Amino acid sequence: MKIEGTPRRRAGDCRAGAFLFVSRKASVSVMQKPVTEVLARNKAGESIFWRWWAQGLRRRTGEGNGGNMSRVGIIGGGAAGMLAAAAAAGQGQEVHLFEKNEKLGKKIYITGKGRCNVTNACAPEDFFQNVVTNGKFLYSSFYGFTNQDIMDLLEREGCPLKTERGQRVFPVSDKSSDVIKALSNHLSRLGVNVHYRQEVASLMIEEGRCVGLRLKSGREERFDRVIVATGGLSYPTTGSTGDGYRFAREAGHKVTELSPALVPFETAEPVGKELQGLALKNVEVTVYKGKKVLYREFGEMLFTHFGVSGPVLLSASSYAAKALKKEPLTLSIDLKPALSEEQLDARLVREFEGQQNKQFKNSLGGLLPAKLIPVMVDRSGIDPEKRVNEITRQERRQLLSALKDFRLTLTGLRGYNEAIITQGGVSVKEINPATMESKLVPGLFFAGEVLDVDAVTGGFNLQVAWSSGWAAGMGAEG
Ligand SMILES: Cc1cc2nc3c(=O)[nH]c(=O)nc-3n(C[C@H](O)[C@H](O)[C@H](O)COP(=O)(O)OP(=O)(O)OC[C@H]3O[C@@H](n4cnc5c(N)ncnc54)[C@H](O)[C@@H]3O)c2cc1C
């Protein structure tokens, strides 16, 4: 498309003062930008606004890509796909985003219980500690697009954010839809072509290179580069049905073993009958494989009709998923983690002193929630009808051990319908970590949950999607 006016200097060299010489249409869009944005500069001291405008100019004229504007096809309009689209379009590429749903970001909508925990405002080093699988692979992409970068982008697009407990970042409005709106606006301003209700059926690979994609309708679309951002298998009703794993395998990639993660556990013991709905704050849970500790953490847990859940156990599932496929694991719950054994024993003595003539089963109200009392009485092996003043030192010891080491057998994980994330995915050994391009098939890129990368809760998984998506979009430069 021919533009009416010409900037005074070369696009990349210009400063905000050159606006007077551009077309009337372009001037209007300039004037609509807030002054702060026009004046803002990036770390290299370049005008951020001017880079944005110049990129648009390059996109319209083909300048900046040696006159060759690349066509980039992106499969999946989730967190990773949208950021990939933003990065590629910002580089002046012609971007086409294919989403099988009728709207973008259907999974983002349900994140953070509808509030969207966008990212975590932790220090960069801490980010990697919260990535469970292949954290090192993310170094380059995270530093290329950090948690601060996604926060800046969303706020610039009219979605103010707040930081809560544990450095979790949410929109001030508590509405995930505002995050999606901000990102959608960003994409439309960058001229991304979004194709809704367009399910991609397969990749087109010719002479070892990815040259496009084939839609379910049979239509073929040719691209210079294709980014697969189809997500994992969790919550399949959002559109994430694992198509990207098939695309990867068909392209010759290895897909590591897949498992639901950040997901509740099923237990052998029917604790659910008695304890269903009971939430415990401040417990310490340890997951053992034999004697080996797989996971240990303080936090909050919940008993359900099938077993155990709650934040601390969801995180535990990410560390236990692989081992649990082979054998049942042991969960030990310390109900009184703030007290050492000696302190807890002294506490039991005090509790019992005040209720010498009560039956044992009626003496634990000061120590435990009501629902847990019959279970602990049973676990202690002490006769429930026994008077407190008849309880022996050995029996007190048994009770103490039940309180500090309440054991359950973990037999399995709930399925993908209840999993926050899929563990496993496209092997990162075959992916360039700086660009997310396949090392096997040039022109093919992967981003987001489809990769063999996963993190614990707290905004880290979305950050993985933002950072890897951005890297893929930048990597897809012509
Ligand atoms: C209930 C729940 C709550 C969560 N809460 C949080 C949270 O608060 N914070 C956090 O950090 N993480 C959270 N997560 C995890 C987070 O949502 C994911 O890590 C993230 O969405 C992954 O982004 P993605 O773009 O890789 O995949 P997705 O978001 O799954 O996007 C993939 C997109 O690709 C589309 N697609 C798939 N196949 C095709 C195809 N063949 N053709 C066209 N389109 C296709 C899908 O329709 C979908 O829109 C939560 C997850 C769940 C399930």
Question: Best of 97, 98, 103, 111 to mutate for ligand 1, by most ligand atoms within 8 A of CB?
Answer: 111
Distance CA 361, CA 364 (A): 7
Report in angstroms the alpha-carbon separations of 272 from 57, 95, 399, 417.
Answer: 62, 50, 21, 20
Q: Which atom of ligand 1 is nearest to the CA of 81?
A: 25
| Shared-domain flag, residues 135 and 80 | yes
Helix (H, G, I), strand (E, B) or coil at 252: coil
CA 202 to centroid of ligand 1, rounded, Å: 20
Print the domain residue range for 16. 1-69
> The domain spanning residue 143 has which CATH number?
3.50.50.60
- C-alpha dihedral, 29 to 34 to 35 to 36, nearest 10°: -130
| Shared-domain flag, residues 229 and 275 | no
Asked which of 50, 69, 88 is the last residue of a domain, the reply is: 69
Residue among 244, 265, 230, 243 nearest 80 (CA):
230
Asked which of 414, 441, 459 is the last residue of a domain, the reply is: 414
Mind giving me the DSSP string for 64-100? Answer: TTTT-PPEEEEE--SHHHHHHHHHHHHTT-EEEEE-S
| Shared-domain flag, residues 241 and 101 | yes
pLDDT of the chain, 478 residues: tens digit per residue: 222 222 222 222 222 322 222 333 333 333 334 444 444 444 434 444 444 444 455 444 444 444 568 999 999 999 999 999 999 999 999 999 999 999 999 999 999 999 999 999 999 999 999 999 999 999 999 999 999 999 999 999 999 999 999 999 999 999 999 999 999 999 999 999 999 999 999 999 999 999 999 999 999 999 999 999 999 999 999 999 999 999 999 999 999 999 999 999 999 998 878 899 999 999 999 999 999 999 999 999 999 999 999 999 999 999 999 999 999 999 999 999 999 999 999 999 999 998 989 999 999 999 999 999 999 999 999 999 999 999 999 999 999 999 999 999 999 999 999 999 999 999 999 999 999 999 999 999 999 999 999 999 999 999 999 999 999 999 977 6
Residue 395 class from Cβ within 10 Å (0-12 exposed, 13-18 middle, 19+ buried)? Answer: middle
| Shared-domain flag, residues 44 and 134 | no
State the pLDDT at residue 45.
41
| Shared-domain flag, residues 36 and 132 | no
| Shared-domain flag, residues 65 and 80 | no
CA 203 to centroid of ligand 1, rounded, Å: 20
Mind giving me the DSSP string for 397-448? Answer: HHHHHHHH-EEEEEEEE--GGG-SEEE--B-GGGB-TTT-BBSSSTTEEE-G
Q: Cα 76–80–83 angle (5° rounding)?
A: 105
Strand 225-228 versus strand 71-75 pairing type = parallel
The residue contributing the CA closest to ligand 1 atom 13 is 111
| Shared-domain flag, residues 135 and 29 | no
Q: Count the domains in the chain.
A: 3
Report in angstroms the alpha-carbon separations of 410 from 68, 71, 289, 293.
Answer: 57, 49, 10, 14
Asked which of 365, 386, 414 is the last residue of a domain, the reply is: 414
CA 103 to centroid of ligand 1, rounded, Å: 13
**Is the distance from CB of 336 to CB of 401 less than 8 angstroms?**
no
DSSP letter assigned to residue 119: E
| Shared-domain flag, residues 298 and 398 | yes
| Shared-domain flag, residues 236 and 98 | yes
Helix (H, G, I), strand (E, B) or coil at 46: coil
Q: Which residues on adjacent β-strands are paired with residue 26?
A: none
Q: Which residue has tokens 């602990």? A: 376
> The domain spanning residue 374 has which CATH number?
1.10.8.50
| Shared-domain flag, residues 50 and 157 | no
Q: Which atom of ligand 1 is nearest to the CA of 106?
A: 49
Please write the tens of the pLDDT for every residue from 88-97.
999 999 999 9
pTM beyond 0.75? yes
| Shared-domain flag, residues 132 and 251 | yes
| Shared-domain flag, residues 231 and 279 | no
